Amino acid sequence: MNAEQTIRPSSRVQAWFAARTPWQRRGIAAVAGAVATLGHAPFQLTLFFIAAIVLLVWLLDVSATKERKLRSAFSIGWFFGLGHLVTGLYWVAAAFNVDSDAWGPIWGIPATLALATGLALYFGIGAALAMLLWTKDVRRIAVFAVAFFVSEWLRGHVFGGFPWLMPAYVWTPGEPISQLASLVGAYGLTLLTLLVAAAPAAIADSGQSASWRFAPVLGAALAVGMAWGWGAQHIAGAPTEPPGARPIVRVADSGLGQAEKWQNRPDQEWRVLQRYLEASGEPSDDNADTIIVWPEGAIPVINFFMLENPDFMSALGHGLGDRVLITGLTRREPRANGVAYFNSAAVIDGVNGEARISQTYDKNHLVPFGEYIPLWDLVGNLNIAPLQRIGAGFEAGAPPTRLVVPGAPTAVVLICYEAIFPDMTPRGEGRPGWIVMVTNDAWFGGGSGPYQHYAMARYRAIEEGLPFARAASGGISAIVDAYGRQVAATSARVEYAEAQLPPALSETPYARWGSIVLLVLFVLIAALRFLPAGKSGPGGSGL
């Protein structure tokens, strides 16, 4: 009799999973991962995410009975991650279809599968870490939450990080529970979400007393209720300011798809400029104080770079009038060994029909393979080009800092990918009065990608207690308050959104003490693993 046969599952549920073949359990894990995706935008079906996590815990219970439990757990975690990431990141393939001459649709599917396959390793690592301290009783709920939190933190930081679809984001931004991000950030909320989602798995533990089995789910329900109550009270205390106390902001989009925007025509830049000016409205005395925001890379680089063309800048100035424009653009800079290219944003002050460049920001956190090729010196000879098709790609700029915006509080600009990372916004003395986000979500296609990106961006407002204006080409352009609530947004029929800039809050506890609060929370939850085991129920066995 081998070691696997000597260990009996502790419940009928676990016995059912144990009776499945290894490949059947892996298939169940992959399906559970796909179900977990329904917890994220645009669906926000949190209960589906919780159900998926419960299934994952029960599958890991079976892995804990195996002789090679680390290998079994890693496999289950990897398949769960694969199902989750393939269904959550399928839209990545759309980016390869934009420039079909260079890439073609044939590359989109394998590239997306490769990305999901690689990122799923973190889920496997989380499952294997959990096995190191796994128990047969309710304490494994804390073990699961801590282990998968570690893997999520690694996924968000290693090799530049890709913290997409973090568990925290299953709570709709702007609603009460999401407000916990102002205390513990998205990573802290991820840890708490994993703990809450795994709690119902303990109900099936027939080897424990009823009070011990139901304690986690009751505790989770109480925690969610308290979080909801606190979040609702937090939102109810939102400050109000009299009309006219803050500037009007208009976020505008050209309404052009990615392929249409990049048509190779001699007048293409001018055509796109005209579309943006139409969405921005005619300059007048009534809107002279309006701040306009255009998306990332608003004007394509077909025949020239906009900052280098005096005629183009003159036309832009006449279209702006006396208004201020914050726009994404591509710029270049001569170097001794060639030319450096930057994915940038600029504050352009319109004065009497003349466009004056006030300040620029060069994107700091670039997208690997999308904006630059890692280890370019080694792979350059393979003729691999980034999706942006700018030489060897863009160069990274310095971290974001405050920019002076005439007629408005100082702002920090986050460009596309940067908005998915907590902690990009300066704090302390460098804290801005609002956040400007410029992005090109047209790369994501018409699926769930733009909605996921927008939901994550709204968490940055909650974490920092700052409002933001977001201009998204092909996505959702919106103005959001410091609680992550949408104030105004574009729709299929309207290519701009306009509203008074919402007020900023005081620096949030997370912005002030984020790392310390997260560390304390991690230690407290990890300590639950070392509490005494619960008593056995009638006819059951203890730990």
- Residue 10 is predicted with a pLDDT of 59
> Looking at 177, 204, 237, which one is the last position of a domain?
237
Q: Do 198 and 260 lie in a common domain? A: no
Active-site residue (options: 363, 395, 418, 463): 363
> Looking at 212, 237, 262, which one is the last position of a domain?
237
In the chain, count H helices and then E strands: 16, 11
Q: Do 228 and 300 lie in a common domain? A: no
Structure tokens at 25: 């359990």
Q: Is 296 a catalytic residue?
A: yes
Q: Is 416 a catalytic residue?
A: yes
Question: What are the E-state strand segments in 146-273?
Answer: 248-252
Does 413 map to a domain? yes
Q: Do 221 and 262 lie in a common domain? A: no
- Residue 93 is predicted with a pLDDT of 84
Q: Which residues pair with 340 in a beta bridge?
A: 333
Q: Do 367 and 341 lie in a common domain? A: yes
Report pTM: 0.92
Distance CA 247, CA 489 (A): 17
Structure tokens at 248: 């009007």
The number of CA neighbours under 13 Å toward the Cβ of 44 is 15
Q: Do 210 and 270 lie in a common domain? A: no
List of residues 6+ apart from 95 with CB closer than 8 A: 108, 370, 387, 443, 444, 445
Q: Do 146 and 75 lie in a common domain? A: yes
List of residues 6+ apart from 237 with CB closer than 8 A: none
**What are the pLDDT tens digits along the chain (543 aa)?**
344 443 455 578 889 999 999 999 999 999 999 999 999 999 999 999 999 999 999 999 999 999 999 999 999 999 999 999 999 999 988 877 655 444 455 667 888 899 999 999 999 999 999 999 999 899 999 999 999 999 999 999 998 899 999 999 999 999 999 999 999 999 999 999 999 999 999 999 877 778 888 999 999 999 999 999 999 999 999 988 776 678 999 999 998 888 888 899 999 999 999 999 999 999 998 888 899 999 999 999 999 999 999 999 999 999 999 999 999 999 999 988 889 999 999 999 988 788 999 899 999 999 877 776 665 555 555 555 555 555 568 899 999 999 999 999 999 999 999 999 999 999 999 999 999 999 999 888 788 999 999 999 999 999 999 999 999 999 999 999 999 999 999 976 667 999 999 999 999 999 999 889 999 999 999 999 998 876 554 444 333
- Residue 166 is predicted with a pLDDT of 98
Reported as a single tens digit per residue, the pLDDT across 379-388 is 555 555 555 5
Provide the 3-class DSSP secondary structure of residue 21.
coil
Q: Do 192 and 276 lie in a common domain? A: no
Torsions phi, psi of 403, nearest 5? Answer: -115, 140
Does 526 map to a domain? no
Antiparallel, parallel or unpaired: β 324-335 and 338-351: antiparallel
Distance CA 412, CA 361 (A): 9
* 3-class secondary structure per residue, 55-102: HHHHHHHHHCCCCCHHHHHHHHHHHHHHHHHHHHCCCHHHHHHHCCCC
Residue 409, domain extent: 248-502
DSSP-assigned letter for residue 286: G
Q: Is 136 a catalytic residue?
A: no
Does 508 map to a domain? no
Amino acid at 171: W
Distance CA 85, CA 208 (A): 35
| Closest C-alpha among 470, 407, 409 to residue 438 | 470
Does 454 map to a domain? yes
Q: Do 230 and 305 lie in a common domain? A: no
Question: What are the E-state strand segments in 258-373?
Answer: 291-293, 324-335, 338-351, 354-362
- Residue 42: cis peptide before it, omega within 30 degrees of 0: yes
Does 532 map to a domain? no
Reported as a single tens digit per residue, the pLDDT across 52-78 is 999 999 999 999 999 999 999 999 999
Q: Do 344 and 486 lie in a common domain? A: yes
Does 367 map to a domain? yes
Active-site residue (options: 69, 152, 371, 416): 416
Does 121 map to a domain? yes
- Total domain count for the chain? 2
Does 315 map to a domain? yes
> Looking at 483, 502, 521, which one is the last position of a domain?
502
Q: Do 139 and 74 lie in a common domain? A: yes
Q: Do 295 and 355 lie in a common domain? A: yes
Active-site residue (options: 269, 296, 371, 464): 296
Provide the 3-class DSSP secondary structure of residue 256.
coil
Task: Quickly list DSSP for 387-456.
Answer: TT-STTBPPP-PPP--B--TTS--EEEEEGGGGGSTT-S--GGG--SEEEEEEEGGGGTTSSHHHHHHHH
Provide the 3-class DSSP secondary structure of residue 162.
coil
Q: Do 254 and 216 lie in a common domain? A: no
